[in-house]
Chains A and B, each alone.
Chain A
């Protein structure tokens, strides 16, 4: 597709359930990012991939969060044993370059809105 695609658009989970969020970046984009956006806040960095390598996972809030990009294209963000504080919009972004020059812009998807009841 032409842009970054995320699915599902909305996800409702019961507390304790596992969820998987999918991101399909722009074809050929090397870099892929996951961000978490709480209601009324700006996006916060979760993790970064360069191709299939996860180079930075410093933003993941706990070991319940896990991300993968096994073939260097589609990525999945998995949250185990969801809790109410995990409720947020999860944004995926991709960019063309590898390390990312200062001026390289990110292309974002529309996000997955996760609600944990």
Chain B
């Protein structure tokens, strides 16, 4: 079974509107971290936001917020007031465990977001 599932291969949003990118995850570990990265056409992965499994509140970073629903195992990214520069691939990723050596991120297949002027 895939650990990270992003069901939207592509999304369109009007400039200045909000958009939600879906992410569900699968783990039996009670301790994990969830990340969102943006990958523009230049190829570099840019960190956007982080949510820990024990965090009580949803994470926010500027125009980015994470809608964390632990029981449903979902961690959707919300981008408010979309800008043309937001057009890119977006990846959800997870790091499992608090045990020593738990360091690698597992990524989903990504969602391509296109912002329309």
Question: Interface residues, chain A, CB within 8 Å of chain B?
Answer: 3, 31, 33, 40-45, 48, 55-56, 59, 89, 91, 93, 99-100, 102-103, 105-111, 113
Interface residue count for B (Cβ, 8 Å)? 30
Query: Number of residue pairs across A and B with beta carbons under 8 Å?
Result: 69
Residues from chain A with a CB closer than 8 A to the CB of B101 are: 55-56, 99
Extra 6 A-B pairs, beta carbons < 8 Å, given A45-B106, A99-B101, A108-B37: A105-B35, A106-B45, A107-B47, A110-B43, A110-B44, A113-B43
| Contact assessment for B44 and A102 in the assembled complex, using a CB-CB cutoff below 8 Å | no
Instruction: Point out the residue from A3, A33, A42, A48 that lies within 8 Å of B91, measured CB to CB.
Output: A42
Residues from chain B with a CB closer than 8 A to the CB of A41 are: 109-110
Docked Cα-Cα span, A108 to B93, in Å, equals 14
| Contact assessment for B109 and A40 in the assembled complex, using a CB-CB cutoff below 8 Å | yes
Docked Cα-Cα span, A59 to B105, in Å, equals 12
Q: Which 4 A-B pairs have the closest CB atoms?
A: A42-B107, A100-B103, A108-B45, A102-B33
- Choose among A55, A93, A100, A109 the residue with the greatest number of B CB atoms under 10 Å from its CB: A100
Docked Cα-Cα span, A13 to B3, in Å, equals 33
A42-B91, A55-B101 as given contacts; A103 in contact with B108, CB under 8 Å:
no
- Nearest residue in B to A102 (C-beta to C-beta)? B33
Docked Cα-Cα span, A70 to B4, in Å, equals 33
Question: Interface residues, chain B, CB within 8 Å of chain A?
Answer: 4, 31-33, 35, 37, 42-47, 50, 52-53, 91, 93, 95, 98, 100-110
Residues from chain B with a CB closer than 8 A to the CB of A44 are: 107
Docked Cα-Cα span, A3 to B93, in Å, equals 21
| Contact assessment for B32 and A106 in the assembled complex, using a CB-CB cutoff below 8 Å | no
- Choose among B45, B93, B105, B108 the residue with the greatest number of A CB atoms under 10 Å from its CB: B45
